[in-house]
Amino acid sequence: MSESKRPLAGKVTIVTGSTRGIGRAIAQRLGREGAAVVVTYATNVDLAREVVQAIQQAGSEALALQMDLREIATIRHLFARTLNHFGKVDILVNNASGLATLKPTAKLTQAEYDSMFDLTRGVYFALQEAARHIADNGRIVSLSTAMTATGSPTSGAYVGSKAAIEQFSIALARELGWRGVTVNVVSPGVTVVNGNTHHQIASGRPLDASSLPQDEQEKRRLYQERMEQIRAATPLGRLGTPEDIANVVSLLVSAEAGWLTGQNIRAAGGIV
C-alpha cells in the first residue's frame, strides 16, 4: 500500500477492547492505515493474537496487552508498556465496555449499577493517562451510545454511564487543545456484530429479562421484529456495521480532523 493510503504511518495507537466487534474493526482499520496498534483484551488472548496477526499482515506493527478497565493499575500498566515498547502514544481509542443492563429503575440492583459505572471510571482514568502521556497533536476518541440523545425506558443507568464519558471528553478537549490534541466521542446507533446488536434495545416500553418470552424461537421473533422497526426508522435504511463506526473513528484520528474537537458524532444512520 502506498504512503498516501497509509496516512497513520509512524503513529502509535491504543485501542481498548479491540478483540471483537467495533473495537476489532477499529484496530484493524487503523492498522491498515499504517498505525502501530496496541490491542487490548480482558481475558481472551487468542482473539487478541488474531487481531495482532491481521494488523501485521497489513504491514503494521501490533502488540497485544491485557487490561481490565475496572482495575486502574492495569490501565497505567498499559500506558507504561506502550511507552516502553514504542516510545510514545499518538492516538487513544476508548472502546472497551461491558454489556448494558437494561432494567426499570425500580428493579436495578446496586451490583448491576456498579458494574456499569466501574467501567466508566476506567474510561476516565484511561483519559487521565492519555492527558499525561499523549504526544502533541494527538487524537483521543471515546465510544458512547446514540441512546444518550434519545433515552429509553429501562436504560437510565446505562445511558447515564455513557453520558459521563461524553462530559469527560468535552472537558478534556478544553484542557488539551493548547497542545493540538483533539478529543471527540463517537456514539453508535444499533450496530450488528456477527448477527447480533452491540447492545440490547428497549423500544417503546420497559423491558427487562423477566418480561421476555421464555421460548427461544419467540425471543428470536421479537428480536427480529424490533430490528426491522429500527431499520425502517433509519433514514439510510439499514442497521450499522462495525466498519461503519471504524470509518468515523478513522476520520477523527486523521490529520484532516485537526479542527474537530469536543464533538459527539452520532453514527446512527440518521436515526434520532
Q: Which range marks the domain in which residue 118 is found?
A: 8-267
At a CB cut-off of 8 Å and minimum separation 6, what does 171 contact? none
Q: How far apart are CA 145 and CA 221, in angstroms?
A: 25
Please give the pLDDT value at position 150: 82
Please give the pLDDT value at position 93: 99
Listed range (8-12, 133-137, 142-146, 204-208) with the worst mean pLDDT: 204-208
CB-hemisphere CA count at 13 Å for 44?
Answer: 11
Please give the pLDDT value at position 4: 66
Domain presence at residue 233: yes
Domain presence at residue 72: yes
Domain presence at residue 53: yes
Tens-digit pLDDT profile for residues 91-130: 999 999 888 888 999 999 999 999 999 999 999 999 999 9
**Is the confidence at residue 49, as pLDDT, over 70?**
yes
Domain presence at residue 241: yes
**Is the confidence at residue 161, as pLDDT, over 80?**
yes
Q: Are 17 and 141 in contact (CB under 8 A)?
A: no
Give me the active site residues, please. Answer: 158
**Is the confidence at residue 1, as pLDDT, over 60?**
no
Domain presence at residue 3: no
At 87, which amino acid appears? G
Q: Are 47 and 67 in contact (CB under 8 A)?
A: no
Mean pLDDT score across all residues of the chain: 91
How far from 266 is each of 12, 110, 161, 238, 240, CA to CA, in Å? Answer: 26, 30, 17, 15, 12
CATH of the domain at 84: 3.40.50.720
Please give the pLDDT value at position 195: 55
Domain presence at residue 272: no
Please give the pLDDT value at position 256: 98
User: What does the buried/exposed string (b/e) look like for 120-132 if buried means 16 or more CB atoms within 10 Å of the residue's CB?
Assistant: bebbbebbbbbbe
Domain presence at residue 128: yes
Q: What is the DSSP letter of 60?
A: -
Query: Which range has the top average pLDDT, 107-111, 146-150, 198-202?
Result: 107-111
Domain presence at residue 40: yes
Pairing of β 192-193 and β 196-197? antiparallel
- What's the per-residue H, E or C state across 95-125? CCCCCCCCCCCCCCCHHHHHHHHHHHHHHHH
Q: How many separate domains does the chain show?
A: 1
